[in-house]
A and B are shown apart, each in its own frame.
Chain A
């Protein structure tokens, strides 16, 4: 662990990604306890105010404080990312492990179902769900989560199959261990690193997808602030207040960049062979 940490701290992109992600989590956590102003507080007299000591990045068309909205938006992004990736991990890893442990027709059925789910990118699922149940944060989380399931199922099955072919698994079987015991004791611990790397990348993708859905009005709904919706509102004011269209975008880019850099760093740190090839 100590050796891993010292290698991690020498990995430039991992450190940069870690700092950006720590900033994202820190700001989201801060917003639970404090924001400069209530994020939904409307102050028409102060609408489209430029940056000042009171409003550090100014205000929007309803006089709401931009910094406060960005802070609460960070919280929303993290919630969507965590839950959507959690759905993908829980269902996808379970399906991948079952496919790998049972093989045969069950594996074939699970993998074909995964292939099929790829026909519905998150945006298409979200369009179908919102057409029926109406837009909202929950629908966007479900849509992104569903899309993550086959991603994790395929990855788990591929990595787990490689573990099942190893000698120590053969020894465990000879010792009388059953499929589930081997999966829990040997397969999962050995594929955890691959899953962690994918989880960080999927987290970043979930933030991007949530922002796109909210931008289209299919995700987070008012008065809850969201980076995507802030961009949608800013687009109508591009001639009067162009910077309003810049801040939320920068927040999205830094968050996604941070998570992607962590993902790249972890991949290098957990698989040194790959790192040498890159």
Chain B
């Protein structure tokens, strides 16, 4: 297991290193230079020179890359051009919205998908199974941002139960609070969870069906265990292996999905931050947020690989 872990860790670090080179190369070594992109065609030579000096563009690219990565590793970041605040502070502030949203969406996804997937598999080829499969096929085809708009239409425009967007904050001093904050994130979390749950439910159903055909399931039933006991104790545990992989991939999708859904609900999260940074041509924020999101995707995949090996010891040997 240790060799497996070390191998995977080395792959993780190598991927992160390559990702940082790509992000830096794409956003810093662009045609012309970053200062020209930020200020546009109408910039005066003086303002261009000032911004180039501020961004350190007068130094060799290798030196700038080394400084950027070195500072990132120490938890220090450059100042945003439009906010004049270190990007780490901006990101930390916005994560207070994005992280709870992603976690809520993931929890909803897992609960919905496992329930529906196991239910459909247990009633294989019945009307209930067909209904779940048809519903999930439709769920996969629905864009999360459109579902978000439909939720706003129903709950904010027609029923007027919630506001159409915005985030009151977690602190009572800002006029928000724990309940108000959670309430503002419920609809976005549902919008994000629907598609993911549809995919995962189908995956769970086929994984459960696959395991139910195994000999040890028949043996467990012959031993006298009830259908429910076999399903919960033996089938679900074994069916979780492929399900965990898909869950990992879905968490990465959720993180990028938040970029779109946060914009639908005007939530001040990471997605909104990067979107505003594009409008403001704030390449420093775009660079650091893209790097963070790419790192999250890579790290989640690493965790999934490790979990996979924990659940299925055969994989450790193949490393």
Q: Mark A97-119, 1 if CB is under 8 A from B, else 0.
A: 00000000000000010011011
Pair A123/B259 contact, Cβ less than 8 Å: yes
Q: Which of B152, B256, B259, B293 contacts A238 (CB 8 A)?
A: B152
A211–B147 CA distance with the chains assembled, in angstroms: 13
User: Using a CB-CB cutoff of 8 Å, which residues 249-301 of chain B contact chain A?
Assistant: 252-253, 256, 259-260, 263-264, 274-275, 277-278, 281, 283, 286, 290, 293-295, 297-298, 301
A130–B283 CA distance with the chains assembled, in angstroms: 11
Most buried by A among B37, B153, B283, B301: B153
Pair B141/A260 contact, Cβ less than 8 Å: yes
| Contacts across chains A and B counted by CB atoms under 8 Å | 124
Q: Provide the residues of chain A in CB contact with B209, threshold 8 Å.
A: 277
Q: Which of A120, A128, A277 contacts B27 (CB 8 A)?
A: A128
Interface of A is mostly: helix
Q: Provide the residues of chain B in CB contact with A252, threshold 8 Å.
A: 141, 143, 146
A218–B15 CA distance with the chains assembled, in angstroms: 27
A245 at the interface (CB under 8 A from B): yes
Q: Provide the residues of chain A in CB contact with B157, threshold 8 Å.
A: 238-239, 242
Pair A249/B150 contact, Cβ less than 8 Å: yes
Closest to A242 in B: B153
Stretch at the interface among B18-26, B76-84, B226-234, B306-314: B18-26
Q: Which of B14, B30, B278, B295 contacts A130 (CB 8 A)?
A: B278
Closest to B295 in A: A119
A124 at the interface (CB under 8 A from B): yes
Pair A212/B260 contact, Cβ less than 8 Å: yes
User: Using a CB-CB cutoff of 8 Å, which residues 220-278 of chain A contact chain B?
Assistant: 231, 234-235, 238-239, 242, 245-246, 248-249, 252-254, 256-257, 260-261, 264, 277-278
Closest Cβ of chain B to A124, distance in Å, is 6
Q: Provide the residues of chain A in CB contact with B149, threshold 8 Å.
A: 231, 234-235, 238, 245, 249
Contact A238:B206 (CB < 8 A) given known A123-B260, A131-B27: no
A242–B156 CA distance with the chains assembled, in angstroms: 12
Q: Provide the residues of chain B in CB contact with A182, threshold 8 Å.
A: none
Contact A215:B286 (CB < 8 A) given known A121-B253, A235-B149: no
Closest to A235 in B: B149
Q: Provide the residues of chain A in CB contact with B286, threshold 8 Å.
A: 127-128, 131
Pair A131/B153 contact, Cβ less than 8 Å: no
Pair A128/B23 contact, Cβ less than 8 Å: yes
A68–B154 CA distance with the chains assembled, in angstroms: 27
B186 at the interface (CB under 8 A from A): no
Q: Provide the residues of chain B in CB contact with A123, threshold 8 Å.
A: 256, 259-260
B140 at the interface (CB under 8 A from A): yes
B210 at the interface (CB under 8 A from A): yes
A216 at the interface (CB under 8 A from B): yes
Pair B164/A127 contact, Cβ less than 8 Å: no
B137 at the interface (CB under 8 A from A): yes
A65–B179 CA distance with the chains assembled, in angstroms: 43
Pair A127/B19 contact, Cβ less than 8 Å: no
Q: Provide the residues of chain A in CB contact with B283, threshold 8 Å.
A: 131-132
Q: Mark A127-140, 1 if CB is under 8 A from B, else 0.
A: 11111100000000
Q: Provide the residues of chain A in CB contact with B15, threshold 8 Å.
A: 115-116, 119
B178 at the interface (CB under 8 A from A): no
Pair A260/B140 contact, Cβ less than 8 Å: yes
A160 at the interface (CB under 8 A from B): no
Pair B153/A238 contact, Cβ less than 8 Å: yes
Closest to A254 in B: B141
Contact A121:B297 (CB < 8 A) given known A238-B157, A252-B143: yes
Pair A124/B293 contact, Cβ less than 8 Å: yes
Pair A119/B297 contact, Cβ less than 8 Å: yes
Q: Provide the residues of chain B in CB contact with A235, threshold 8 Å.
A: 149, 152, 264
What would 18 more interface pairs be, CB under 8 Å, given A116-B19, A238-B152, A260-B140?
Answer: A112-B14, A119-B15, A119-B294, A119-B298, A121-B252, A124-B290, A127-B274, A131-B37, A131-B278, A131-B281, A131-B283, A204-B141, A216-B263, A231-B145, A231-B149, A249-B149, A253-B143, A260-B141
Mark B residues whose CB is within 8 Å of A: 11, 14-15, 18-19, 22-23, 26-27, 30, 37, 137-138, 140-146, 149-150, 152-153, 157, 164, 206, 209-210, 252-253, 256, 259-260, 263-264, 274-275, 277-278, 281, 283, 286, 290, 293-295, 297-298, 301
Mark A residues whose CB is within 8 Å of B: 13, 112, 115-116, 118-121, 123-124, 127-132, 204, 208, 211-212, 215-216, 218, 231, 234-235, 238-239, 242, 245-246, 248-249, 252-254, 256-257, 260-261, 264, 277-278
Q: Name 5 A/B residue pairs within 8 A (Cβ), A-sorted.
A: A124-B256, A127-B290, A231-B146, A253-B143, A256-B140
Q: Which 6 A-B pairs have the closest CB atoms?
A: A249-B146, A256-B141, A257-B141, A119-B294, A131-B286, A123-B256
